[in-house]
Amino acid sequence: MDVYGLLGSPVEHSLSPPMHEAGYEAAGIDARYVTFEPDDAAEAVRGAAALGVAGLNVTVPFKRDVMAAVEPTERAARVGAVNTVDFTTSPPTGDNTDVAGVLRAFDHHGVSLDGTTAVVVGAGGAGRAATAALAEHADSVRVANRTVSRAHDLVADLGEEETRVDGGDDTATLSAGGLDRLEEWVPAADVLVNATTVGMESDETPVPAELLHDGLAVLDAVYTPLETRLLREADAAGATTVDGAWMLLYQGVEAFERWTGRDAPVAAMNETLREEL
């Protein structure tokens, strides 16, 4: 039996174990997915390698700490965080599947990101992943954050502000500002991502309804509730809406496929995830 797991604190309410175990069952894989709350995440990764653990996910507050124990992929290095560890290499490879989670969530809803103008609200971990993902395809990515310096830091980490930065096959222009820039940026945008916790278990939104329009595709990284006020108001404005469970699902799907070398049973994983929400 293979053992996979999640490093984080706290992790007792994580949705990853039931989602991944539903995938193993549907795929006929003899495996379990367990949770760990270590004192030292980097040492935990080294210990897991010695014990023969097949793969690890990493969540807050350890996504940066584990980088000391792995060889980060290009996208993990670009984001500055690791959320998936693959032990089939030496040293273990650290990837960031949150980036793929954003891209695959939009793709599932038929949203093409190529050549778009995108706005990301929030400059934390989810904001970093969303910005890196969008920079692979968009023409322009604008990051708005309450603490403006954090938005500038994010952009500086990914590339020079207001310059073209490499995002894969194409390049994107990155820029940063405060939440006051949303009034200018959102009406002109094709894509909007809420990467903050605003709206989590509360009827709040980080983006005023009057800025939303039918040319937008809106992803809210919040998944409790599934229909946030932002998504409800975006839908009323005629926008394409993507709830946060799709990002959660597809980052897990990407990890599953990396670890097992097999196509993930997406439908089974999605059904279980939504039953748990």
DSSP structure class, residue 168: S
Kindly list the distances between the CA atom of residue 130 and the CA atoms of 179, 221, 271, in Å, as whole numbers in the listed order: 17, 9, 24
DSSP structure class, residue 92: P
* Parallel, antiparallel or unpaired: strands 164-166 and 140-144: unpaired
CB 209 within 8 A of CB 237: yes
The CA distance from 215 to 217, in Å, is: 7
The CA distance from 113 to 106, in Å, is: 8
* Known active-site residue 144: no
Instruction: Look at residues 107, 95, 143 and name the one whose alpha carbon lies nearest to residue 123.
Output: 143
The CA distance from 88 to 93, in Å, is: 8
Kindly list the distances between the CA atom of residue 237 and the CA atoms of 38, 186, 208, 224, 234, in Å, as whole numbers in the listed order: 45, 13, 12, 22, 5
- Give me the amino acid identity at 58: V
> CA angle 176-98-26, nearest 5°?
160
3-class SS at 116?
coil
Q: Which of 63, 75, 142, 181 is catalytic?
A: 63
Q: Would you please indicate which residues are annotated as catalytic (active-site) residues?
A: 63
